[in-house]
Amino acid sequence: MNKKEKNFDVQINNTVMAVPTINVEDALKKALAGFKEYFKNENRTEEPMYLIKIKSENDAATG
């Protein structure tokens, strides 16, 4: 498995579901490309539709 990819198991109602692996670097590159396109457009009327949230394993402990 690539170092940048992680598999997450989520438990819902006592059933473990495998969450698809994401490549964080690729996701950030795609979001950045979208922002660049958005800001190139001088006649833009809509806000960009990107929300990037990265949660570390320590978030649960720190709240």
Domain ranges of the chain: 1-45
- pLDDT surpassing 80 at residue 62: no
- Residues 1-51 pLDDT 10s: 455 656 566 555 665 656 667 777 888 888 888 777 777 777 767 665 655
Which H/E stretch holds residue 24? helix 24-40
Q: Is the pTM of this model over 0.85?
A: no
Q: How far apart are CA 36 and CA 43, in angstroms?
A: 14
Residues 22/36, Cβ–Cβ less than 8 Å: no
DSSP assignment letter at 13: T
Look at residue 53 in the predicted model and tell me its pLDDT: 63
Distances (CA, A) of 51 to 1, 17, 22, 31, 41: 26, 24, 15, 9, 20
